[in-house]
Amino acid sequence: MASSGVVNLLHYGTLRPAAAAAFIFVLATAGLAGSASAKLPPLRDPVFLNIGFVCQWRDSCIAKQRGAMKKALGYVEKHDPPAWKVQQCNRNASRYRGRGRVDWIGFNNCIRNKSIRPAPRRR
């Protein structure tokens, strides 16, 4: 029967409980204790929290959204599109994925689209 080293040492009494707790703490802070702690949402980072909700916490989707966010923000900084276009793309990007949650891939595609024109004025 194979068991982990810490449990095995605790079982045979060669490792004190305080030392075992310290060892487990070091493993947990180093990120070696498991991937469950890495999946917790970072409540203090609203951008990542938004992307996580949009992607339902799937790592590949989060990576794509972050890449699109960096590209879109770089494009906006370099080309300085008009405010109406940024606002329209924000509305379009948040329309289909949920209320108030911006889909950065959709925003990146929209902001780079040369054929988008301002919406007609409402009376």
| Half-sphere CA count of 120, side-chain side, radius 13 A | 2
Q: Where are the domains of the chain?
A: 5-39, 46-112
- Residue 37 pLDDT greater than 50, yes or no: no
**CB-based contacts of 106-115 (< 8 A; 24+ apart in sequence):** 107/68, 107/72, 108/68, 108/69, 108/71, 108/72, 108/75, 111/72, 111/75, 111/76, 111/81, 111/85, 111/86, 112/72, 112/75
**Tokens at 93, concatenated:** 């990007």
More confident: 5 or 87: 87
pTM above 0.75, yes or no: no
Confidence at residue 47, expressed as pLDDT on a 0 to 100 scale: 81
Please indicate whether residue 62 or residue 53 has the higher confidence score (pLDDT): 62
